[in-house]
Amino acid sequence: MRAALLVLLFIAVPLTARGNIPWGRVIGADTSSLSASDKQKAATLMGQTTCYYGCSSSVAECLKTAPGCLTARHLAGHIVRMVQAGRSDKEIKRAVMLRAKSAHPFRKYKIKTNKSQCLGNPDTAKVVIFAYSDFQCPFCTIILPRLEAMVKKRSDTALCFKHFPTQVHGSGTILASISAVAAALQGKFWAYHDLLYKNRKNQSPEELVGYARKAGLDMARYKRDIASRKVKRLVAREKQEGLGFKVKGTPTLFFNGKMYFGRKDAAILADRIAEELFLAKGKK
């Protein structure tokens, strides 16, 4: 079925006037700085790419004839950004395929929320992002703070952390997750989370205790909690949950239960949030 999706996305739809793209309708990219060659490349790719939702023609044609199709307008911006970044046609076509797979997957997962590990209110948010992460994962140290900063600026989005410690990143990852759960029980999860990611390579048992003090935890309670079976079971349960959802590495993100595929730079993540928002509102 995924092979069929690729075929549907990249049928060579002819574009009669490649220079006649309504560039002002493109969302998420600055088209004013495009060189003539980049415009030609972007226009060609838009003419070859079928819009995967809403308008059923090529992205180029949808921009001209269906300006209300937000999928086409955001997808056009994605193509323009990748052209500006010097990506090859092959890379861009793969990115579009992964984008379609992320927005309209064959399966959505029902993920339980632990509000003590959520930034924002998952009960009222239109978009809930779940991040299965490891506190010693080098990519997580970049992507999780990036998502945190984005969510803090919004009232319609929530970010919920899920523990997925892996031995690949170090032997202390499980204890780091246990310590973070202990912090969550005192309402200090995100303060502790930030300290762990700022000190990814310094997470010995003694250092974890030091971060707990720095985060303002009740130390007697913290020490009881990190030794409790309840806290250890919660970490194990979230790891098992992630494995059941086909999580294989960190960070793995889900937007409203949809597994996310593709690059995780700020522009694409912001675009995924925007797309999920208009889909949640019944728009195309």
The set of residues, in sequence order, having a beta carbon less than 8 Å from that of 233 and lying 6+ positions away, is none
Mean of pLDDT values over 215-233: 97
Mean pLDDT of the chain: 92
* Residue 278, phi then psi, degrees to nearest 5: -75, -25
Q: What span, in angstroms and rounded, lies between the C-alpha atoms of 99 and 267?
A: 13
More confident residue, 3 or 238: 238
Mean of pLDDT values over 93-117: 96
Q: What span, in angstroms and rounded, lies between the C-alpha atoms of 208 and 3?
A: 47
Give the DSSP letter string of 193-251: HHHHHHTTT---HHHHHHHHHHTT--HHHHHHHHT-HHHHHHHHHHHHHHHHTT--SSS
Q: For residue 16, what pLDDT is reported? A: 39
Q: What is this structure's pTM? A: 0.91
Structural domains in the chain plus CATH codes: 2-104 (no CATH), 115-255 (3.40.30.10)
- CA nearest to 163, candidates 142, 187, 143, 137: 137
Q: For residue 251, what pLDDT is reported? A: 96
Q: What span, in angstroms and rounded, lies between the C-alpha atoms of 221 and 146?
A: 31
Question: Tell me: the pLDDT tens digits for 18-44?
Answer: 458 999 999 999 999 899 999 999 999
In the chain, pLDDT over 70 holds for what percent of residues? 92
